[in-house]
């Protein structure tokens, strides 16, 4: 049995563990909290991601270590990589952790991205506003997720307030992208260099948090282009494992927003909606097994449950619905679970998707 260590014991680590067992793999997770949801389904070590004692313990318990969380200190990941194979390599984490490094990488491989400028004080903000124009978005360069650490800027006054609110330095100003919709591509690269892509996914966010995904995205005019960008990215990084690329779809082109060097919420639909789930393919990649098919099986829609879980019976009464309860305590804004519906056609998703959204909204706090 190959032993996989996972840094982070959230719902992603939990779903990795559940996908690991049928493959004859075992998972041990490391998390800062003893209540981390992976701990309900696999062994869990408790410790800080920068604590070398905890990391060494995970290395002892694993033949290969991977991540359910990209904000692991890259130094810690590199320290760990000197003791046990770490997949994907810490290099990808380091780039994904810095929005400016990420944009430089996109530019270097010809993937369109937003106009941007680094902001570290009032002067650089003023210069950035000239370069980027308005409206724009001021973001922390590091540690942002689920819409946290960003402010939309319409006026120079907004800019000054946002600068103060976000800490005054280590920021990036990006042009505001007027998008038609948000889309993502989950791609996987095996240890042998083989690459595969899941179909383009259409995502809806609210308050910076993903609410629904639909795949394959209808009107896939840019689907092939998005997949090509994702493949270019994982090849450039010589990445091994699953990676998600988030893009804005504009009238005439795609604009890359960011990538996540891990399994991704916008790929949860693959559990029921694709031949091989993103979790299984990530595990296949990091343990050097052949990749599974990434084709869709019909059409799928996923709805996140945020803050509170809807009634379990009500969710399962929705035709074709599958529930994924992460076993987490309710808290406003917290992702507690999701449901996926599958159907033979895109239009047949509409009714069950609407039912699930209504249940999610009624429960959501």
Residues contributing to the site for its own copies (CB under 8 A): 1, 14, 18, 21-24, 26, 40-41, 275-276, 284, 289-290, 292-293, 297-298, 309, 312-313, 316-317, 319-325, 327, 337, 342
Q: Identify which of residues 171 and 191 has a Cβ nearer to its own copies in the complex.
A: 191
Q: Identify which of residues 39 and 90 has a Cβ nearer to its own copies in the complex.
A: 39
- Angle at which helices 74-81 and 52-60 cross, to 10°: 40
Q: Identify which of residues 181 and 275 has a Cβ nearer to its own copies in the complex.
A: 275
Determine the Cα–Cα distance for residues 11 and 268; give it in Å rounded to an integer.
Answer: 11
- Count CB-CB contacts under 10 A for residue 210: 24
Strand pairing category for 26-31 and 44-46: parallel
Measured from the CB of residue 346, what is the shortest distance to its own copies in angstroms?
17
Phi/psi class of residue 183: alpha, beta or left (left: φ > 0; alpha: ψ in -120 to 50)?
Answer: beta
DSSP one-letter string for 129-168: HHHH-SSEEEEESSS--TTTTEEEE-SHHHHHHHHHHTTS
Measured from the CB of residue 62, what is the shortest distance to its own copies in angstroms?
16
Measured from the CB of residue 89, what is the shortest distance to its own copies in angstroms?
22
Measured from the CB of residue 289, what is the shortest distance to its own copies in angstroms?
5
Separation of CA 358 from chain center: 24
Look at the alpha carbons of 251, 257, 261, 264 in this order and tell me if their dihedral is positive or negative.
Answer: negative
Q: Identify which of residues 14 and 262 has a Cβ nearer to its own copies in the complex.
A: 14
Q: Which residues pair with 338 in a beta bridge?
A: 304, 324
Q: Identify which of residues 150 and 287 has a Cβ nearer to its own copies in the complex.
A: 287
Measured from the CB of residue 283, what is the shortest distance to its own copies in angstroms?
11
């Amino acid at each position: 049995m190959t032993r996989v260590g996972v840094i982070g014991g959230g719902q992603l680590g939990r779903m990795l563990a559940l996908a690991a067992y049928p493959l004859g793999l075992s998972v041990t997770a490391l998390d800062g909290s003893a209540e981390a949801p992976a701990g309900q389904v696999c062994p869990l070590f408790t410790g800080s991601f920068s604590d070398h004692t905890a990391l060494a313990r995970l290395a002892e318990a694993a033949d290969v270590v991977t991540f359910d969380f990209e904000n692991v200190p890259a130094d810690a990941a590199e320290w760990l990589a000197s003791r046990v194979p770490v997949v994907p390599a810490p290099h990808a984490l380091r780039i994904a952790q810095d929005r400016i490094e990420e944009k430089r990488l996109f530019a270097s491989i010809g993937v369109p991205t937003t106009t941007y400028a680094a902001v570290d004080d009032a002067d650089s903000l003023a210069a950035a506003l000239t370069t980027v124009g308005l409206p724009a978005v001021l973001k922390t360069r590091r540690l942002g997720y689920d819409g946290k650490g960003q402010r939309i800027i319409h006026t120079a006054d907004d800019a000054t307030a946002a600068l103060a609110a976000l800490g005054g330095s280590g920021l990036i100003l990006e042009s505001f992208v007027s998008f038609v919709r948000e889309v993502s591509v989950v791609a996987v690269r095996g240890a042998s260099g083989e690459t595969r892509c899941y179909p383009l996914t259409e995502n809806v966010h609210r308050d910076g948090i993903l609410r629904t995904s639909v795949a394959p995205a209808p009107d896939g005019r840019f689907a092939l282009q998005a997949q090509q960008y994702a493949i270019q990215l994982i090849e450039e990084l010589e990445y091994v494992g699953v990676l998600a690329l988030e893009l804005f779809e504009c009238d005439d082109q795609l604009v890359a927003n960011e990538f996540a060097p891990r399994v991704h919420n916008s790929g949860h639909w693959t559990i029921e909606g694709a031949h091989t789930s993103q979790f299984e393919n990530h595990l296949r990649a990091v343990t050097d097994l052949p990749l599974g098919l990434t084709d869709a099986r019909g059409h799928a829609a996923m709805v996140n449950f945020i803050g509170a879980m809807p009634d379990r019976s009500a969710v399962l009464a929705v035709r074709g619905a599958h529930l994924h309860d992460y076993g987490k305590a309710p808290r406003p804004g917290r992702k507690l679970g999701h449901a996926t519906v599958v159907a033979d056609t895109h239009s047949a998703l509409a009714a069950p998707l609407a039912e699930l959204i209504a249940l999610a909204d009624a429960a959501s706090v």
